[in-house]
Structures are given as structure tokens and as C-alpha cells.
């Protein structure tokens, strides 16, 4: 029995946020001191490190469950299935629905229940629930769904990653330029043949690392003291990711029993271009390779930014549908999907196309 992906979908918001949007911002450091440098210079250095030139934000009338529904509809159409045949819907997110102009998160009912409602699914046996696992949430949802399928408790699941980080950004934090909105979805089901999930790995580091990424007040003193925003300790996360993510990826490959030479593509969470490049280099070194194969790592961060749980499924959908011409997938190809984020959590799964 194989656990395979039969369809994917994504929603990339139409609203493009370029660098000019941040030129009038006053940025503060972690000690709440104004950064005196010209915002244009701050933005230039930011782009050099992260690779981000643009990011996408949702429209004011859209929320996370709305764009999740759009990605889900596309995945259903791609798989050619009746949504009534789904045994479950899992949505990975971090902040629920946050209406435009507000800061309070709305998670009741769950986003998965809302998407099931939006898809007009009547089947009560289709169980809808959410997963909170930081940026690796979509991969964790895939791992959870695959376990249901392996045990025979289900035949078909849909897993969605959806986030509207634009609703939780501190305009006085340089790191706010990293974040974006988006949604990606996949249909995963039992099938026959060689295609499917080959191996998995999940890790949670919470002893010292748990608050590397959390919620906090604005970096600008005295501004909206009752409002909290997404906050990260960038340097600590960078060092943590470089040390631990390649190890988890290697553990996943070891479980799969597949040689590194068979890996055609590696889909990494789109958080930081320089960090991803360092992770992939260390991963291949752990596997005994001195160089990283050309075109092995698709990237979308330059134009789409970091949409948290949506980055990996969106990137997979773009490649599967030929929207990144330099990257192609063919039957039999082995790919590796991996992520890291708040928790701190890391996970990965290997898959044969």
C-alpha cells in the first residue's frame, strides 16, 4: 500500500507588497531603541540576507479560512475527487482568522470546520480539525494524515496550510518584512504502486528554544501596549536551524532507505534564502556529498515572502504544475520536504513522485 499525493492547490494573494511600502517605517531594535539608519539601507541589507524582494498580502475582505478554501477547491479539482469522499480535513495555521483592522484571533469554530462548511461537505464522517505546529504545521498535518491512512482508519485526507501573517505584524520590527500570506493544500490517499511517502521525521526542541519565536508587544515604546505581534530571535533561530534541520532531514532519509543520489528536489520552508542555502549544504555534507546538485532546491521566497505553513505546499503546487519552469518533477523522482519553526519544531518527509 502506498500513501500518495493525488492533487494539490494553492492560493497566492494578488496584492504585491514591494520594498517601497516600508520606506516610511521607523524601525526599532530588540532593546526598543530607534535604529538611526536610513530605512532604504535597512531594506537593502534585509534583501541581501533573506532574498525577499516582494511579498503577498490578502485583501481586507479575506481571512485565513477564505484563502484555505480557495486552495482546497483547487486541490480537489486537481485530484478529480468528490469532496464528500474525504475522511478528514486538517488545517495547519498559527493565528486563526483575524479580521482586517483587528488583532484578536478567531479560532472557534476551527478553520478546518469552516473550510468543510465552505466546501458544502455533508459527510459527517469527514472529520475536520486544526494543527498548531509553527511553520512546519502543513508537513506535520501530512504526517498525521498518513498515519490515519496507514492504519486503515481512513482512505483520503486533505491537508491545508493557511496563514495571514500580515494581520500580526509590528510595523516597527525589521523582521516584519519577512512575512507574507498564502495557502496551499494537498489531497493524500491510499493507493497502489511505488509512488508515495517513503519516510518521515519530527522533532520538538522546547528546553531552551521554545520562545525563539513568540508573541510580544511592539518594539516601539508606548505603541499599542495591549496589542501583541509576531516576534522572533532571528540569530538564535538561524543558528538553531543550521544545527538541527539537516540532522532531521538526514534521519528522514535514513528511514526512507533511499540514497541521497536519488533525491531530485528538496522543498524547504521558505524563511530565509541564506539560511536555506546553508541548510541544504550541510544536509548534503551529512550525506557524504561535497557539493549540492544544481537546481535541487526550488525557491519562491524572492517574490512571495515567508507565508509560514503555506510555503512548502505552495511551492510544491507551483512545481507540480510547471509554474517554475526551471524545476520539473517526473514519475519515480524522490523529493524531500522539510520545515522548521515556532516550537521550536522541525519535520520532514521523503516522497516518491
Q: Which domain-ending residue is among 160, 193, 226?
A: 193
Q: Which residues pair with 16 in a beta bridge?
A: 56
Residues 70 and 164 in one domain: yes
Residues 263 and 313 in one domain: yes
Q: Give me the domain span that covers residue 237.
A: 197-352
Please say if the pLDDT value at position 55 is more than 90.
Answer: yes
Residues 284 and 189 in one domain: no
Distance separating alpha carbons of residues 67 and 79, to the nearest angstrom: 19
pLDDT tens-digit series, residues 71-96: 999 999 999 999 999 999 999 999 99
Is 14 exposed, middle or buried (CB count within 10 Å of its CB: 0-12, 13-18, 19+)? exposed
Residues 229 and 261 in one domain: yes
**pLDDT bracket for residue 293 (50, 70, 90):** very high
**pLDDT bracket for residue 103 (50, 70, 90):** confident
Cα angle, residue 270 at apex, residues 137 and 216 outer, rounded to 5°: 65
pLDDT tens-digit series, residues 201-234: 999 999 999 999 998 999 999 887 788 899 999 8
Residues 188 and 213 in one domain: no
Amino acid at each position: 500500500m502506498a500513501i500518495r499525493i493525488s492533487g494539490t492547490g494553492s492560493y497566492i494573494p494578488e496584492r504585491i507588497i514591494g520594498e517601497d511600502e516600508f520606506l516610511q517605517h521607523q524601525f526599532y531594535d530588540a532593546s526598543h531603541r530607534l535604529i538611526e539608519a536610513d530605512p532604504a539601507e535597512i531594506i537593502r541589507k534585509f534583501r541581501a540576507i533573506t532574498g525577499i524582494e516582494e511579498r503577498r498580502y490578502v485583501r481586507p475582505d479575506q481571512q485565513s479560512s477564505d484563502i484555505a478554501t480557495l486552495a482546497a477547491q483547487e486541490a480537489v479539482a486537481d485530484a478529480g475527487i468528490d469532496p464528500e469522499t474525504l475522511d478528514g480535513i486538517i488545517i495547519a495555521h498559527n493565528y486563526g482568522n483575524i479580521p482586517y483592522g483587528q488583532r484578536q484571533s478567531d479560532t472557534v469554530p476551527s478553520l478546518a470546520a469552516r473550510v468543510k462548511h465552505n466546501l458544502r461537505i455533508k459527510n459527517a464522517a469527514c472529520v475536520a480539525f486544526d494543527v498548531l505546529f509553527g511553520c512546519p504545521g502543513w508537513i506535520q498535518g501530512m504526517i498525521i494524515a498518513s498515519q490515519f491512512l496507514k492504519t486503515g482508519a481512513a482512505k483520503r485526507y486533505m491537508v491545508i496550510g493557511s496563514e495571514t501573517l500580515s494581520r500580526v505584524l509590528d510595523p516597527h520590527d525589521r523582521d516584519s518584512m519577512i512575512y507574507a500570506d498564502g495557502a496551499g493544500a494537498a489531497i493524500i490517499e491510499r493507493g497502489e504502486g511505488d509512488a508515495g511517502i517513503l519516510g518521515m521525521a519530527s522533532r520538538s526542541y522546547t528546553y531552551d528554544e521554545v520562545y525563539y519565536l513568540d508573541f510580544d508587544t511592539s518594539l516601539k515604546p508606548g505603541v499599542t501596549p495591549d496589542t501583541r505581534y509576531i516576534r522572533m530571535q532571528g540569530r538564535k533561530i538561524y543558528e538553531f536551524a543550521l544545527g538541527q534541520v539537516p540532522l532531521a532531514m538526514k534521519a528522514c532519509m535514513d528511514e526512507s532507505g533511499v540514497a541521497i543520489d536519488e533525491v531530485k528536489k528538496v522543498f524547504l520552508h521558505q524563511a530565509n534564502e541564506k539560511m536555506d542555502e546553508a541548510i541544504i549544504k550541510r544536509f548534503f555534507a551529512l550525506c557524504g556529498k561535497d557539493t549540492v546538485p544544481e537546481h535541487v532546491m526550488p525557491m519562491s521566497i524572492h517574490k512571495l515572502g515567508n507565508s509560514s505553513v503555506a510555503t512548502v505546499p505552495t511551492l510544491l503546487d507551483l512545481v507540480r504544475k510547471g509554474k517554475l519552469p526551471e524545476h520539473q518533477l517526473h514519475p519515480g523522482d524522490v523529493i524531500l520536504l522539510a520545515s522548521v519553526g515556532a516550537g521550536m519544531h522541525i519535520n520532514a518527509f521523503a516522497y516518491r513522485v
